[in-house]
Amino acid sequence: MRARTRVNVAVSAGVMLAACACGPEKTNEGTDPKPSEPSVSASTRTEGPPATPSASAGTGTPSVVPTGDGPAPRTKEGAIKRYEQYLHALGREDIDAVCEVAGPAAKQAEDQGFGPCTSTYVAVFRMISPAQKKALRTATVDPGRVVVRTPGKVEMPVAAVRSSATFSESDLGSYTLEYLKTDWYITD
């Protein structure tokens, strides 16, 4: 992850840890997957064991299995569509969808000690103003500002986000999306 993104994740994790220092998040409760609580997208998966990016999975590590009917297009437009899904989910505070798209980057942060995606993003949600959340729900991406590094790697600068609110590097940041298996994921 880039230094700025690490700082954002670290601040988010610190806020979350301060708020939940010794609370129920530290217990082992909920560490086993609960088969009675299937993922919303479990019926559309075409490969791999069912895994959910929800708090009930315990680790908060999302699956890298696609949730659509088939592979996402490995194009700039496919990456933009996926990033817009992430932005809209961020605005709705949809932790499952956010952790699905940001899974690989969240896993890197977790491996560095920042906690699981489901816990870290709860703190991030608190740091986004209500006006920004509302704007994110309908945000779009300006394709002219998106940088294609390779056919499977795309940079989404914060300047590419078009919405009714203003976002900076410090409050939203720029991201790298990579095509993994059959869909686009935030990796940095």
Within a domain: residue 81?
Answer: yes
The amino acid that residue 19 corresponds to is A
CB atoms within 10 A of CB 99: 27
pLDDT at 26 > cutoff 90: no
Within a domain: residue 169?
Answer: yes
Within a domain: residue 38?
Answer: no
Between 154 and 25, where is the model more confident?
154
Within a domain: residue 36?
Answer: no
How far is the CA of 152 from the CAs of 3, 87, 125, 155, 172, in angstroms?
Answer: 22, 20, 29, 10, 23
Task: Check residue 68 and give its pLDDT.
Answer: 56
Within a domain: residue 159?
Answer: yes
Within a domain: residue 35?
Answer: no
Within a domain: residue 28?
Answer: no
* Least confident among 20-29, 60-69, 105-114, 170-179: 20-29
Task: Check residue 50 and give its pLDDT.
Answer: 33
Within a domain: residue 137?
Answer: yes
Q: How many domains does the chain contain in total?
A: 1
Between 166 and 20, where is the model more confident?
166
Domain that holds residue 93: 3-22+51-64+73-186
